[in-house]
Structure 1
Amino acid sequence: MNRYFIEVSYRGTRYSGFQVQENAHTVQAELQKAMELVFRKAFVLTGSSRTDAGVHALQNYFHFDEESDLQQKQVYNLNAVLPNDLAVKRLITMNTDAHSRFDAISREYRYHLYTRKDPFLYDRAYFFPYKIDVEAMQTAAGILQEYSDFTSFSKRNTQVKTFICALYESRWEQTTEGYCYYVKGNRFLRGMVRGLTATMLKVGRGRLDLKGFRSIIEGRDCTLAQFAVPAHGLFLEKVNYPEGYFAEI
């Protein structure tokens, strides 16, 4: 039995999330349907990183098992039947014990804001034409790295066993369109990056001071944080694995 990783990218606008859900249009369901059409058999896919409804990904992975030897030309065949908002980037032969989720060592996200109306960004970034204190937001982003329990930034009805996360990088960056929040961590909770972004924007607008920001983190209560930023501004940019992980098998 061979194990394969399949790398994908997608525009999340039409999808109800990454993982298969009952009576919902998801990235995994769309990919499984295409694979069944191309390979004439059903596959069970395991995803590396879940994304919420409407969230985009420049890079994400699934793994699956298959007895036959698959070739890179199958990437072309899959893309030929997939919709325009979902693409297979590569197919990788792995060791049989490789796991796309458990072997990942970090994930990188960016949340994009634009400050001037732009018809080409309306569904890929959050229009936020307000004056903000970027220095205060930068301080708040740094404060996050002092903590590991992010219960306050996890949406309700999550099934995780722990709210502990390690943030390796957390910062605001200026872009040609406005600003973005960049964060890299070992794992993220449901709605976490949007919760961090929305709460820091409250700091930037002067409606929450840094002491209050710390209180929200330490309160471990999701009703204290803000989540009111749209999903379409968020991108999963990269899923990282140990050095040499994708060496040819």
Structure 2
Amino acid sequence: MARYFIEVSYKGARYAGFQVQDNVLTIQSEVEKALAVYFRQPVALSGSSRTDSGVHARQNFFQFDGDFAVPDRAMYNLNAILPGDIAINSIRKMRDDAHCRFDAIAREYEYTIYKMKDPFIADRAYFFPYTVDEGVLQEAASVIKEYTDFTSFSKRNTQVKTFNCKIIYSEWERRDDCLVYRVKANRFLRGMVRGLTGTMLRVGRGKMTIDDLRRVIEAKDCTGADFSVPGHGLLLVKVEYPEGYFEKV
């Protein structure tokens, strides 16, 4: 039995999320369906980073164990089976104890907003036609780096042992007519990036102060955060593993 990692990218607009769920279309269900067609047997996947409904990914990973050969042409053939909004970028044979979720050391996300109507980015950025103070947004992003407990930015009914996350960077960046929130951490909670983004936008619009943001974080109560920004503005950019991780087979 050999272990393999599958690197995928996808547009999440049509999907109810990353992880398989009953009676809905997900990224995992589509990839498992393609694997079953190609290998002519069921192939169970485990994922690295779960993304919510509508969220996109430039890089995410699945793993599976198989006692069958995975030929070099498998990636090409699987991509021919998969729908156009999901792509397999690599299939790597890994060590038997490798784990795509628990071995990851960081994840990077971006959330993009735009002010002027633009049909060419409408499916991957949030139309936000309001004036925001970019300096205050940047200050809010810096405040987030001061904290490790993000209970206030985790949606309810999530089963985690700790709400602590180590933020590596948190910043806003202007790209042409868009504003992009960039954040990297060792781990993220369910809904966390959208909660951070929505709450900071309230600060940027003057609906909250920086001190209000601190109070929301320190309250450890998700009712104070704003999770209302839609999923289609969020992109999982990268799942990071230790240096040389993929060379140790």
TM-score by shorter chain over 0.5: yes
Answer whether contact 2:95 2:248 (CA < 8 A) is retained: no
Answer whether contact 1:110 1:182 (CA < 8 A) is retained: yes
Q: Report the equivalent of 1:124.
A: 124
Aligned-pair CA distance for 1:248? 6.3
Equivalent runs, 1:1-249 vs 2, <5 Å: 1-247=1-247, 249=249
* TM-score w.r.t. length of structure 2: 0.98
Answer whether contact 2:56 2:236 (CA < 8 A) is retained: yes
Deviations 1:77-128, CA, capped at 9 Å, x for gaps: 1001100111111100111100000000000000001111101111110011
Deviations 1:177-231, CA, capped at 9 Å, x for gaps: 2200000001111110000000000000011001110000000000000011111
Deviations 1:135-170, CA, capped at 9 Å, x for gaps: 111111111111111011111111122111111000
Q: Name which of structure 1's ranges 110-119 and 154-163 shifts more when overlaid on structure 2.
A: 154-163
1:71 and 1:103 map into 2 onto residues whose CA distance is 25
1:113 and 1:177 map into 2 onto residues whose CA distance is 9
Q: SS of 2:74's equivalent?
A: helix
Query: Which amino acid counterpart does residue 121 of structure 2 have in structure 1?
Result: L
Q: Name which of structure 1's ranges 182-191 and 154-163 shifts more when overlaid on structure 2.
A: 154-163
Q: Name which of structure 1's ranges 54-63 and 66-75 shifts more when overlaid on structure 2.
A: 66-75
Structure 1, unaligned runs of 5 or more:
none
Structure 2, unaligned runs of 5 or more:
none
Answer whether contact 1:144 1:170 (CA < 8 A) is retained: yes
Q: What number of residue pairs does the alignment pair up?
A: 249
Query: Which amino acid counterpart does residue 242 of structure 1 have in structure 2?
Result: P
1:177 and 1:92 map into 2 onto residues whose CA distance is 38
Query: Which amino acid counterpart does residue 221 of structure 1 have in structure 2?
Result: D
Q: SS of 1:12's equivalent?
A: coil
Answer whether contact 1:2 1:69 (CA < 8 A) is retained: no
Deviations 1:54-90, CA, capped at 9 Å, x for gaps: 0000000011111133123100110011001111111
1:90 and 1:118 map into 2 onto residues whose CA distance is 33
Query: Which amino acid counterpart does residue 123 of structure 2 have in structure 1?
Result: D
1:177 and 1:247 map into 2 onto residues whose CA distance is 40
1:186 and 1:237 map into 2 onto residues whose CA distance is 14
Aligned-pair CA distance for 1:53? 0.5
Query: Which amino acid counterpart does residue 63 of structure 1 have in structure 2?
Result: Q
CA-based RMSD: 0.9
Q: SS of 1:14's equivalent?
A: coil
2:153 and 2:46 map into 1 onto residues whose CA distance is 25
Answer whether contact 2:126 2:233 (CA < 8 A) is retained: yes
Aligned-pair CA distance for 1:24? 1.6
Answer whether contact 1:72 1:90 (CA < 8 A) is retained: no
1:83 and 1:178 map into 2 onto residues whose CA distance is 29
Q: SS of 2:13's equivalent?
A: helix
Q: SS of 2:143's equivalent?
A: helix
Query: Which amino acid counterpart does residue 184 of structure 1 have in structure 2?
Result: K
Q: SS of 2:246's equivalent?
A: coil
